[in-house]
Amino acid sequence: MKFGSSGVRGLASELVGRPSGLYTEGFARRLRATGFPQGAVFVGRDLRDSSPAIARDCMAALAASGFQPVDCGPIPTPALAFYARRHGAAALMVTGSHIPADRNGIKFYGPHGEIDKADEAAITSCVAELSDRYPWPPAPADWQTGHEQALAAFRDRVGGILAPGALSGMRLGVYQHSTVAAELLVEVLRSFGSDVTPVGKSEIFVPVDTEAVGQDTIAKMKGWVREFELDAVLSADADADRPLVIDENGELFRGDLIGLATALFLKADIVVTPVTSNSGISGAFGFKVVRTKVGSPFVIAGMEAAQQAGGIVIGFEANGGVLLGSDCFLNGKTLSALPTRDSFLPILAVLGTVASTGKSLSSLRESWNLPVCASERLENFPVEASRGLMRRLADRDALRQFLAPFGSVADVDETDGLRARMASGEIIHLRPSGNAPEFRFYAEAASHDRATEIVAMALERARDTALADEPEAV
C-alpha cells in the first residue's frame, strides 16, 4: 500500500484489519502534531464490499487514539468533506474511487481540507515506525452516527447552485451503477425541474474511471440516449468526486471540458489544472491557467498559491473533478469554497450552461474549437514494468525512437511523466499511474479518430517495449 494521487490505496485484503488501523493511527498522530485537538472525525465510505469493514477498523483506531469517530456511512466524498469542513473537523473516506473491486483505499482530510504531501510523508513515516508494534485489535468502542445530517447539509449546498426550475424541459439519464451518489444525483437533478430516468443500477461493484471510459460503457450510453431520447447522461465514480457526462449523441464530454464549463459558469479568474488537461484552455478564455502534476494535492497547493492574487480560483483535473478554492456568489447565495474534488458542482454547471444558452452538449463542445483529446490505460501493468519503461524513455534518443511513428518531437514537458509535443502540433503523453498498477496514455489531435488512433498505437508500443524488457524489469 502507498499514497498515490489521492489517498493511500492497495489490495482490499491487505488493508482490512490492522493495516487500516495503522494508517489511521498515523493520521491521528499527524492531527495532534499539527495542533488539531482530539475531537470528532467524520468517517464515510463507498459501496464496495470491503468498505464497511475498513471503515469500522478506522473508527476503532480513531477511538483508541482518543478521537470521537462519527459514522457518516455511505456518502459522496465531497459531502463528507463539506460537512467536516463546516464543523472544523477532520474526516476520513474509505474508497478506492475508480479502481477495481479487489482494491480499496483511504482518503484523509484535516480540519482545513484534504491533506497535503507533507502530511502524507508524516503518516507514512509513522506507519513505518509503528509497523512492528502497533497493537491490534483495539478495545471495543461506540461511535455516533451522522449520515443523514451530512447528506442534508450537502443537499442544501447544491440546491443553491442553479435557480429554481433551471433544468425544466431537460430529459436526463443518471447512470447509477454502484456510485454512492446514485440516489442523491437523481434527487438533485429532479429538484431543478428535469425529467430524470435512472439507468444501469448494479448490486455488484462497477469500477468507473471517468478519465478512461471503456467502449462497453459508451455503447450502453448510446443505447440509453436513443431509448429514452435523453439530452445527457450523468454519473460519477464510486465516491462521487469525479463526474461523468455523456452528450445527446452518447459521446463522452471529457473531464477537462467539464472543468472548462465550470470555470466559465463561475467566471473564474484563475484556473489550476494538471498538465494532462486540454492544452487549448490556456490563454483562450480570459482566465489565467496554472499547470501542475496530476493529483488533487498538487492542484490544491497550486490553488493556495494562486489565492494570493485574489479573485475566484478553481481547480479541475482531466477526470472532471472540480475543486472550488474561493467563495462564489450564485443566485443570491454564497457557495462556499470546497477545495476537494466534487462531481455535483461541475455536473450542474454544465447542465446550467446548456439550459441557459440553448445549445446541446455537442454544440457547446464544438463552439470552443479545442484540440480533441483521448486517453486510455494499460491495466494490470506492474509497477516495475512502468518504472522500467520510464527509465528507458528518459533517454531522449530512446523517446524519439519510440515516438517515431508519430513524427518528430518538438519539445518534451516532464512535469508529470513525459508529455511530447510533436512537430505536427499533436501531443502524446505517457504517465504511470500514481496509485494503481496501470500505465496511462493521453493524446491531443485535430480529430477524435486521430487522437484515439494515437492512444491505441502508443499503448501497443508501450506493451511491446515492456514485454521486450520483461526479464530486466520484473
User: Which residue, of 368, 401, 417, is where some domain finishes?
Assistant: 368
Residue 114: all three cell numbers together: 484534504
Same domain, 350 and 392: no
Residues 300, 430, single domain; the answer is: no
Question: In terms of domains, do 187 and 310 share one?
Answer: yes
For residue 87, the surrounding DSSP H or E stretch is none
Structure confidence at residue 469 (pLDDT): 62
Judged by DSSP in three states, 39 sits in coil
**Domain's final residue, options 147, 181, 197:** 147
Q: Work out how many domains the chain is built from and give that number.
A: 3
Predicted local distance difference test score (pLDDT) of residue 21? 96
Strands (E), 379-462: 409-413, 418-422, 427-432, 439-445
DSSP secondary structure, 140-187, as one string: P---EE-HHHHHHHHHHHHTTSS-TTTTTT-EEEEEEET-TTHHHHHH
235 is catalytic: no
Low-confidence ranges of the chain (pLDDT < 50): 471-474
Ramachandran region of residue 213, left (φ > 0), alpha (ψ -120 to 50) or beta?
beta
Active-site option among 20, 50, 51, 97: 97
Q: Are residues 304 and 266 in the same domain?
A: yes
| Continuous segment of H or E residues that includes residue 374 | strand 372-378
Interatomic CA distance for residues 57 and 392, integer angstroms: 42
196/340 same-domain check: yes
Q: What is the pLDDT of residue 435?
A: 63
**Claim to verify: residue 176 and residue 314 sit in the same structural domain:** yes
Given this model, what pLDDT does residue 331 score?
86
Confirm whether pTM is higher than 0.85.
Answer: yes
The pLDDT value recorded for residue 3 is: 85
CATH of the domain at 284: 3.40.120.10
Residue 156 located in a structural domain: no
Q: Are residues 230 and 340 in the same domain?
A: yes
Of 380, 394, 369, nearest to 447 by C-alpha is 369
Residues 17 and 83 in one domain: yes
At 337 the pLDDT is 95
Dump the DSSP string for 332-360.
Answer: TEEE--EEEEESHHHHHHHHHHHHHH---
Range of the domain at 385: 372-473
Tell me: do 228 and 210 sit in the same domain: yes
Quick check: is 159 in a domain?
A: no
**Are 438 and 379 spatial neighbours (Cβ–Cβ below 8 Å)?**
yes
Grid cell locating 421? 509535443
In a domain, 153, yes or no: no
Pair (320, 216) in one structural domain? yes
Q: Are residues 286 and 222 in the same domain?
A: yes
CA distance 326 to 339: 8
* One domain for residues 253 and 350: yes
